[in-house]
């Protein structure tokens, strides 16, 4: 029988973090005042090896996972990640293998190498087309032009459809929503506008800073009429909207104002082998210790099944002043 949690939600998606390190210091994820020079990142020995990641991935696929997304931190910081992609691409039953990156290391050679290794698609984060705004958000003086070059490199390599993720924060980059939609209209790329979320404990989240999905949709629809589109699959997080004139589509991820907990099918594995069942979780289940004490595949499979079958997470549905103040795991640790 397929795995299901206490609310009947199947296990279909695995977010696989390969590193907790990143070369950006985005203010909503890894603010420099917390993740500074003295921050203690994971040691190499604490990271799951590629063989360990592939072994666990095979067990997750056997349990029902159809899609794996590589995340971080910044996953392209993990040396020889193409070797891991080759190992994952060879797993029978895995239908979709993708990766999320900030684009800083995505050269044309790297994009081709990722594609040749078996990566099917890619998502690239870009929070503004305005250099000053973008630099203020990534806090490392990285220019927009370099990310646009990375998008072109991914396109040339055939890592399509490319998705562009924009986290929208009021008073920071919300004026750039329509320009972002305009820039990618007609390109075949899909911009996904993401409500600013209270992930972790360090980003100073306030509800007043959230630009709602409705505001985002209305701003774009005022320029180009939109038509609602059906979800591509059960559990898709982005609400899909097509341009009425056929110039493509956008997505809006509304975890704050329109929670989708009821259809969430995602598990997350941190770079050091902790299994989390919610982006807003407080604790994970240590699988690395099992791996490194010679647990059998059957024992590991039982551990995965035990965690998922007991899952009852619905953080975004019950978000309140009390839950916002919980000591949640940081997004850089478990991936977005």
- The residue ranges of DSSP E strands in the chain, in sequence order, are 13-17, 67-71, 96-101, 121-125, 163-168, 190-195, 226-228, 239-243, 249-253, 266-269, 274-276, 285-286
In a domain, 140, yes or no: yes
Neighbours of 278 (CB within 10 A): 21
pLDDT computed for residue 281 by the predictor: 86
* Cα of 79 vs its chain's centroid, Å: 20
In a domain, 7, yes or no: no
Using 50 as the pLDDT threshold, list the residues of the chain that sit under it: none
Kindly state the tokens that stand for 256: 């704050």
Q: What contacts 230, CB < 8 A, 6 or more positions away? A: 240
Computed from CA positions of residues 7, 259, 26, 16, in that sequence, does the dihedral angle turn out positive or negative? positive
| Distance, CA of 296 to CA of 306 (rounded, Å) | 15
In a domain, 320, yes or no: yes
Neighbours of 232 (CB within 10 A): 10
Q: What contacts 334, CB < 8 A, 6 or more positions away? A: 15, 17, 268, 269, 270, 274, 276, 279, 281, 284
In a domain, 196, yes or no: yes
pLDDT computed for residue 325 by the predictor: 64
| pTM for this model (two decimals) | 0.94
In a domain, 4, yes or no: no
pLDDT computed for residue 197 by the predictor: 86
Neighbours of 155 (CB within 10 A): 17
Give the CA distances from residue 113 to residues 71, 100, 102, 155, in Å, rounded to whole numbers and listed in that order. Answer: 17, 16, 17, 13
Residue 62 · residue 8 · CB < 8 Å = no
Q: 103-158 pLDDT, tens per residue?
A: 999 999 999 999 999 999 999 999 999 999 999 999 999 999 999 999 999 999 99
Give the CA distances from residue 311 to residues 6, 9, 69, 192, 301, in Å, rounded to whole numbers and listed in that order. Answer: 6, 9, 21, 28, 16
Q: How many domains does the chain have?
A: 1
DSSP secondary-structure letter at 99? E
pLDDT computed for residue 54 by the predictor: 98
Strand partners, 163: 123, 190
In a domain, 3, yes or no: no
Print the domain residue range for 94: 13-40+51-334
Q: Is the backbone peptide bond immediately before 207 cis, with ω within 30 degrees of 0?
A: no
Residue 101 · residue 45 · CB < 8 Å = no
3-class state of residue 195 by DSSP: strand
In a domain, 319, yes or no: yes
Kindly state the tokens that stand for 301: 């499979």
pLDDT computed for residue 321 by the predictor: 61
CATH code for position 287: 3.20.20.70
pLDDT computed for residue 190 by the predictor: 98
**Would residue 64 be called left, alpha or beta, if left means φ above 0 and alpha means ψ between -120 and 50 degrees?**
left
In a domain, 211, yes or no: yes
pLDDT computed for residue 136 by the predictor: 95
């Amino acid at each position: 029988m397929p795995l299901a949690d206490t609310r009947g939600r199947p296990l279909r998606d695995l977010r696989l973090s390969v590193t907790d390190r990143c070369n950006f210091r985005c203010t909503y994820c890894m603010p420099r005042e917390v993740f500074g020079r003295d921050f203690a990142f994971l040691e190499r020995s604490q990271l799951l090896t590629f063989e360990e990641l592939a072994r666990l991935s095979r067990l997750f696929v056997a349990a029902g996972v159809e899609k794996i997304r590589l995340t971080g931190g910044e996953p392209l910081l993990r040396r020889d990640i193409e070797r891991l992609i080759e190992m994952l691409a060879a797993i029978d039953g895995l239908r979709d293998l993708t990766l999320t990156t900030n684009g800083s290391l995505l050269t044309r050679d790297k994009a081709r190498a990722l594609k040749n290794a078996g990566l099917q698609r890619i998502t690239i984060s870009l929070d503004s087309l305005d250099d000053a705004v973008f630099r203020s958000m990534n806090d490392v003086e990285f220019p927009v032009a370099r990310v646009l070059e990375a998008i072109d490199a991914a396109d040339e390599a055939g890592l399509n459809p490319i998705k562009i993720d924009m986290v929208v924060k009021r008073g920071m980059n919300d004026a750039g929503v329509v320009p972002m939609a305009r820039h990618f209209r007609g390109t075949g790329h899909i911009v996904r506008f993401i409500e600013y979320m209270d992930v972790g404990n360090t980003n100073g989240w306030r509800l007043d800073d959230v630009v709602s999905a409705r505001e985002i949709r209305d701003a774009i629809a005022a320029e180009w009429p939109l038509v609602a589109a059906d979800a591509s699959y059960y559990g898709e997080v982005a609400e899909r909207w097509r341009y009425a004139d056929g110039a493509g589509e956008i997505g809006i991820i509304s975890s704050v104002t329109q929670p989708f907990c009821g259809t969430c099918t995602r598990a997350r594995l941190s770079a050091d082998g902790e299994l989390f069942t919610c982006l807003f979780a407080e604790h994970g289940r240590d699988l690395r210790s099992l791996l490194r004490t010679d647990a059998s595949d059957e024992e590991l499979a039982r551990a995965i099944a035990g965690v998922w079958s007991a899952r009852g997470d619905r953080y975004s549905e019950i978000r309140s002043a009390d839950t916002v103040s919980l000591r949640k795991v940081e997004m850089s640790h478990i991936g977005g």
